[in-house]
Chains A and B, each alone.
Chain A
Amino acid sequence: MNLRMNRLISSGDSFSGNERNCLYLNVGNPDQIRFANISAVSGFDFPDDGRGLASTDWDFDGDLDFWISNRNAPRIRFLRNDLPEGNRFLQVKLNGNGTTCNRDAIGARLELDVGDTTLLKTVIAGDSFLAQSSKWVHFGLGPVDGPGELRVRWPDGTLETFKALKPNSRYQITQGENVAAVWPPPQQSPVFEHREVERPSRSGAIRAVVKSNMPLPRLEYIDFEGRKRSLREHLRQPIVLNLWASWCTPCVVELSEFQQEAIPVLALTVDGINAESPTTHEDAKKLLESRGFEFPAGLASESIMIWLQAYHDLLFTDTQPLPVPTSFLIDTDGTVAAIYKGAVSSERIKADHTLLTNSPDKFRQQSLPFEGKWLAKPPDHKPADFAYFLILEDQLDMSLHYLSEFVPVGTRGFGITIDALEQKSHVSERKDLLERIRHLRSRSFPF
């Protein structure tokens, strides 16, 4: 997958999306094998991003139902087969002896005489794609009175033969017992109503707790008095870095609430961020004054936006532009603990401040939507990742800046990042950067 295509997909495009699942009917004519397209009339053709498909007679009505896993929601779909009575079936479950043949009897071959033909089935485990279907072997029989002889060739080479099997029945066959035992399904026959899978309504706002392990850079901004200030000087305590605009009502409501609840905040406005902006930073200044806002405030620059967007894009697959309001909950060491896209309540922010005192493991747990456990310790970010990501984003100056400030020489990821930066600077003919890279490298050999 090409990186640029990935980027488009991550920002919300589809790629061969909304494709409907297909179902082709075998017309059972060996001389004219063309299958018939029954995708739509069968009701099988959901436009999901289908992946794994498994069949099983879930409701014991003698036809095969489907479980299909999807990339998109609903992550799994259950399709009940409502085949009317008419054609008959036979279902068989084999049990190997567990010594010369595996207990699941995987690999056993079943030959069932039906009319003047013989049907072949094999007990298998895992086929099609990322899927495993039921180990019950299902034979559709057509409208016959009854099946003929069933021959079971066990994987160890032994052969057993069964006669007088009844149609529309289920049998358990245990190797060596020479008996096909009728297996009665549960008495309770489920009746399911059809209802569309409902997706819960969303407010539109996103809260993501992040175990980032990477400090934000110094992020210098200009305040409303025209002075050059830095994010760093506010980090004596955890702070909310808030992006807002005077024309954005939810932003103003949110800031009022922050003010009332005395939540430490640094508010950077995108008013007047560039010539295209419909409003200027004067509008922002006036609004702050008229509301009596007293928290530190200033102007978001395009450079700050690139830093924050890149930081976000490294953490998440989604690469849509940050909206206003967006808030970053930042710990005293400059690492981001949570990102809120859209308005966030002050209760939420207050509650999330307690995240900052958690142990790393506890914190990771809180960055996940559900409980669960890991087979392998999940990877954590390290500052070098951000410097490396900035190279991929073609932000070479920023990468070098971040590398020299937050990635001590010789720490994990330093080498590979500076190598990559050097290569890219070389390709981009950035002689100035190459010079500084050499300088930075020389620090690794102080003697």
Chain B
Amino acid sequence: MGNDTNGEFQPVVLSLKVRLLIIAALLTLVVAVPFFFFCWLWGMVNVDVAEAVPVQQGPVLAIDDPSKDGWETEVLSAQALKQLKQIAREVESGLAEKQPSFVAPDFRSGPLRPAPLNVVYDKFPFMVERESSSSDKSNGHEETRSYSEVIQELRSPFSHEQALRVSVKVFRIFLEEETFVTREFVSILGTTDGHPVEENATWKTRWSIGKKPGLLSLQVEDFERTTLKKTRPLFTDCTTAVLKKELEKNNQLTNGVSDWWSRLQKIYGVGRNGQHGVACADVNGDGLDDVFLCHPGGVPNQLFIRQPDGTVVNRAKEVGVDWLDQTSSALFVDLDNDGDQDLVMGISGTGQNAVLENVGNTRLEVRFLSEKIRGYTRSLSSADFDNDGDLDFYQCLYGATGPVPFHDANNGPANRLWRNDGDWKFTDITEKAGMDVNNRRFSLAAAWEDFDNDGDQDLYVANDFGRNNLFENLGNGEFEDIAPEMRVEDSAGGMSVSFSDFDHDGKMDLYIGNMFSSAGNRISFQENFNPRGDQFSRSLFQRFARGNTLFRARPDGGFEDVSVDAGVTMGRWAWSSRFVDVNNDSFDDLCIANGYITNARKHDL
């Protein structure tokens, strides 16, 4: 986007009045957005985005004054973050000769790393060290370090030949009499003896309240160091090598969704959020996985066929899948049991799905297209739920209008269970299967798994803006939503579902992608957040901002939420969150693809 407007031309000069208005509106929103987000949760604000009704903009203005709303803490935490970032830059550069003006003259810090560190994992190629339970709390914990010693000590384990990367995220703030306290995640990446090392710590910093908050003290509350015992990272980005031929052909892969915003009419279905997925399957029957990439409306889907040398060639046109319709998801499964991979495609804006038959491993021909409905198709997941020998599939649908109420929205379109009736007939049997309960949610993802080990396929559904579903297969063609009994409702912004027996106890555990919001964390943990509300609603809001959830299967059935103990809540604005064993140690790790909208301007709402 930035490339588009730099250089050759200048913007039209608007009147001072208009410019002031724009600046005022921007400032208002910059400050208001975090509060607005949480007032959403309160259900105070009408977030209906249906274009059929003119939108009232009044309620936003009513909440745009943070000091009146008690959220001056947001202003303070933004200032603190700015200064923490300056500290981060000094740790990176090592140039801390002069103490910055915002650091109090008598600033003192405790130790930056606990001692001794305990090795909690040491299997090639990773070593993990944490604070030992025997670490002596009394010795060396006094706050004695000066600012320059802090910078030096933070840098000390790392090689200074390579640049450090330091990042900070403020996730708590508490006001006290004349000071305030923040907690932040601090991450340092560098190398030691040629090995990549990252340190992830939680800092507690105390600040004086003034025009510019002054840093008074620093304590490290939590610390973990991981070392990669090889010189190159575990993962290498080989996108260019594998997609060489495609990247040279045109800009379809190097244009992000935002790049189409000014080049392609939005009526074709370009969209903002870029909900376009990926599927791996052997489409041409040569035994090797190929890759299907979904694209926004007006941009054709791509089918990358794996070549013997590991590179790919896009054969979407030849195979007949160069669809321009806005596509969110794709699923390759053998629907007619003839040994090749057929395709189910989720069409986003029209709430449709299309089923295509694989003909001779060379063509995919449309055999079924569901009717248009108001809603957006999201993830697809397939299993033979009725054990009749052919595969059925489940279609998640997301609301095209705003969620009401925000924290428990049940006004979306109904998800659909499609039964395979042979001869390319698919019947929507959602209601008949008893799945039309708690089924007006804003669903993003679903996964089938026999979680109770009784031999049939159950289904977990992750819903945005509210509770999730766990549909137990009763074995008679019907399902029952038992999420509350199994304690897996996970009321939050559900984005993804992944099952795995991560602890090797013979029962499938469950990881749910949610949204981690620093602003939400900062606000919902304060005492004056929703003071009229009870503890239940308070914890509900805290839950919405907490992030991803790990449910561990209990020996006696049901699940327990072990997310915090497992330290896996912070998945940022998480989308695909998945169990994968990345180092072949037999224990499944957690991979999270995240981030909402990155645009050219640095400013982040």
Physical interaction between A and B: yes
Q: Which residue of A lies closest to B547 (CB)?
A: A22
Bound-complex Cα distance A374 to B589 (A): 40
CB <8 Å contact, A195 and B121? no
Give Cα A46–Cα B311 distance, bound, in whole angstroms: 22
CB pair A51 B272 closer than 8 Å: no
Q: Is B474 part of the contact surface with A, judged by Cβ < 8 Å?
A: no
B282 to chain A, nearest CB (A): 8
> Taking the nearest CB of chain A, how far is it from the CB of B429, in angstroms?
18
- In the complex, B60 has a CB within 8 A of chain A: yes
CA distance A27 to B331 in the complex (A): 32
Interface flags, A70-111, vs B, CB<8A=1, else 0 = 111111111111111011110000001011111110110100
Chain B residue numbers with a CB within 8 Å of A206 are 4, 262-263
A71 near B597 with CB under 8 A, answer yes
In the A-B complex, the 8 residue pairs with the smallest Cβ-Cβ separation, listed nearest first, are A130-B277, A43-B233, A71-B274, A50-B593, A190-B310, A372-B300, A140-B584, A17-B598
In the complex, A21→B580 CA distance in Å? Answer: 14
Chain A residues positioned under 8 Å from B241 (CB to CB): 192-195
Assess the B272–A9 pair: CB atoms within 8 A.
Answer: yes
- Taking a contact as CB atoms under 8 Å apart, the answer to whether B580 and A318 are in contact is no
Are B591's CB and A66's CB within 8 A?
yes
Contact, CB under 8 Å: A51 / B277: yes
Does B38 sit at the interface, judged by CB under 8 A? no
Query: Known interface pairs A128-B498, A132-B330. Does A374 touch B324 (Cβ–Cβ under 8 Å)?
Result: yes
Mark each residue of chain B from 13 to 45: 1 if its CB lies under 8 Å from any CB of chain A, else 0: 111101100000110010001001000100001
Interface residues of B in 552-573 (CB under 8 A from A): 552, 562, 565-568, 570-573
B297 within 8 Å of A (CB atoms): yes
Contact status B576-A130, CB under 8 Å: yes
B19 cross-chain contacts in A, Cβ below 8 A: 276
Chain B residue numbers with a CB within 8 Å of A32 are: 120
Shortest beta-carbon distance from A247 to chain B in Å? 8
The answer on a CB contact under 8 Å between B501 and A120 is yes
B584 touches A83 (CB 8 A): yes
The CA of A192 and the CA of B241, in the complex, are separated in Å by: 6
A324 contact set on B, CB distance < 8 A: 9-12
Q: Which of B70-78, B102-110, B287-295 contacts A (4 or more CB under 8 A)?
A: B287-295
- Whether B582 pairs with A42 at a CB distance below 8 angstroms is yes
A117 to B501, CA, bound (A): 12
Pick the contact of A119: B261, B378, B504 (CB < 8 A). B504
Given contacts A4-B60, A67-B291, A376-B352, contact A106 B11 (CB under 8 A): no
Give Cα distance in the complex from A192 to B237, angstroms. 9
**Residue B54 at the chain A interface, CB threshold 8 Å:** yes
Partner of A157, one of B280, B379, B455, B601: B455
Chain B residues with CB under 8 A of A317: 260-262, 266, 270-272
**Chain A residues whose CB sits within 8 angstroms of the CB of B325 once the complex forms:** 374-376, 378
A34 within 8 A of B: yes
Residues of B in contact, count (CB < 8 Å):
220
Cα separation A35 to B130 with both chains bound (whole Å): 11
Residues of B within 8 A of A79 (CB): 235-238
Residues of A in contact, count (CB < 8 Å): 191
B122 to chain A, nearest CB (A): 10
Shortest beta-carbon distance from A342 to chain B in Å? 5
Whether A224 is near chain B, meaning CB under 8 Å from some CB there, is no
Among residues 197 to 216 in chain A, which have CB atoms less than 8 Å away from a CB atom of chain B?
Answer: 197-206, 208, 210-211
Q: Within 8 Å CB of A24, what residues of B?
A: 567-568, 589-590, 592
A392 lies within 8 A of chain B by Cβ: yes
Contact A15 B278 (CB under 8 A): no
Would you mind naming 8 contact pairs between A and B with Cβ atoms under 8 Å apart?
A16-B517, A22-B574, A41-B233, A46-B237, A49-B256, A71-B597, A120-B501, A369-B252
Across-interface contacts of A25 in B (CB, < 8 A): 121, 126, 128, 226, 582-583, 589
SS class of chain A's interface: helix, strand, loop or mixed?
A: loop
Q: Which residue of B lies closest to A25 (CB)?
A: B589
- Per the bound structure, the CA–CA distance linking A255 and B230 in Å amounts to 61
Residue B276 CB within 8 A of the other chain: yes
Give the docked Cα–Cα distance between A193 and B271 (Å): 34
Establish whether residues A378 and B581, one from each chain, have CB atoms under 8 Å apart when the complex forms. no
Contacts of B256 in A (CB 8 A): 49, 70-73, 75
Check if B265 sits within 8 Å of A420, measured CB to CB: no
**Are A14 and B599 in touch, CB under 8 angstroms?**
yes
B568–A109 touching, CB < 8 Å:
no
A56 partner, pick from B1, B289, B293, B597, beta carbons under 8 A = B289
- A192-B270 in contact (CB<8A): no
A3, A126, A302, most chain B CB atoms within 10 A: A126
Compute how far the CA of A125 lies from the CA of B274 in the bound complex, rounded to whole angstroms: 22
Contacts of B157 in A (CB 8 A): none
Distance in angstroms from B539 CB to nearest chain A CB is 22
Give complex CA distance A342, B12 in Å: 12
In chain A between 253 and 297, which residues have their CB closer than 8 angstroms to a CB of chain B? 270, 273-278
- Contact between A5 and B198 (Cβ–Cβ < 8 Å)? no
Supposing A53-B578, A104-B334, A130-B379 touch, asked if A119 and B586 sit within 8 A by C-beta, the answer is yes
B240 within 8 A of A: yes
Contacts of A446 in B (CB 8 A): none
Q: Is the CB of A19 within 8 A of B272?
A: no
Whether A373 contacts B383 by the Cβ 8 Å rule is no
Contact in complex: B334, A83 (CB < 8 Å): no
Residues of chain A within 8 A (CB-CB) of B577 are: 128-129
Chain A residues with Cβ below 8 Å from B301 are: 372
B268 beta carbon closer than 8 Å to chain A: yes
A211 and B266 CA atoms in complex are apart in Å by 11
Q: Would you call B590 and A23 a contact (CB within 8 A)? A: yes
In the bound complex, residues from chain B placing their C-beta under 8 Å from that of A316 are: 261-262, 264-266
Q: How far is the CB of B85 from chain A (nearest CB, A)?
A: 13
Contact with A along B242-257 (1 / 0, CB 8 A): 1100010011111111
Q: Contact check, A125 vs B391: say whether CB atoms are below 8 A apart.
A: yes
Within 8 A of B (CB), among A33-57: 33-44, 46-56
CA gap between A270 and B504 in the complex, in Å: 70
Least CB distance from A147 to B in Å reads 10
